[in-house]
Amino acid sequence: MLHRKNFNSLEHLVNDEILIIKGPVDSNELETFNFDSELSSFRPAPQQKLALVEIAQLPEGRIIVALKDNLVVGYVTYLYPDPLERWYEGQNERLIELGAIEVIPNYRNSAVGKKLLEVSFMDEVMEEYIIFTTEYYWHWDLKGTGLNLWEYRKAMEKMMNSVGLTWMATDDPEICSHPANCLMVRIGSKVDRDSIEKFDKVRFQGRFMY
């Protein structure tokens, strides 16, 4: 099933600079952009650019970017779960993972992440999907933000809540390994009951319940 893509954009003023938040952008357009060197939370910026281009080439892949002129200073990705992960089980066509969201340090605390999510959910097709994200504290930039573990968790939750992603329980062992980790989910208004039940069976498998 192809994941329909309706392009949206908005302007966001940060410190007298106008950023353009737009997407989903296709792989050809992504290749024309430069990536800020500080987009390196997951891998060096040049490799991260290649990874995003590959995601954009997937039928369901969606990339939303924050641009300063032709420079990408933030992005968020959406794609089907990795086949090696628990969330792929059941091969739920209505389940899409918010895989990564990253903003360079100079534009943090300026609602850029929130705007990336806002543009993502301007597309009504998102109502047809369950969007989830797995949050692990070891991925969080506590040093760069100056926040402690729980302050970061609270800020992350507030940002996700702004577009309707909320905490959901799970018995996933990796998430359960630390109380700061969490599963956040948004169930679109047009998602069918069967798809929700498939997701619930993946959330709770009973394998690690004592």
Is 208 within the bounds of a domain? no
Rounded (5°) CA angle 16-22-25: 140
Identify the CATH number of the domain in which residue 168 sits. 3.40.630.30
Mean pLDDT of 115-134: 97
Is residue 130 very low, low, confident or very high in pLDDT (cuts 50, 70, 90)? very high
Is 51 within the bounds of a domain? yes
Per the CB < 8 A criterion, the answer to whether 167 and 203 are in contact is no
Is 209 within the bounds of a domain? no
Encoded tokens for 24: 């989903």
Give the pLDDT of residue 101. Answer: 95
Whether 209 shows a pLDDT value over 50: the answer reads no
Mean pLDDT of 97-123: 95
Task: Give Cα separations from 189 to 76, 101, 112, 130, 164 (angstroms).
Answer: 22, 24, 26, 9, 11
Is 31 within the bounds of a domain? yes
Per the CB < 8 A criterion, the answer to whether 199 and 88 are in contact is no
Encoded tokens for 141: 């930039």
Mean pLDDT of 120-149: 93
Is 181 within the bounds of a domain? yes
What is the pTM for the complete model shown? 0.92
What digits encode the pLDDT tens for the residues 81-99? 998 889 998 789 999 999 9
Is 56 within the bounds of a domain? yes
Whether 208 shows a pLDDT value over 80: the answer reads no
Mean pLDDT of 69-73: 97
What range defines the domain where residue 132 resides? 8-203
Is 210 within the bounds of a domain? no
Whether 1 shows a pLDDT value over 80: the answer reads no
Is 69 within the bounds of a domain? yes
Distance CA 138, CA 103 (A): 17
Total number of domains in the chain: 1
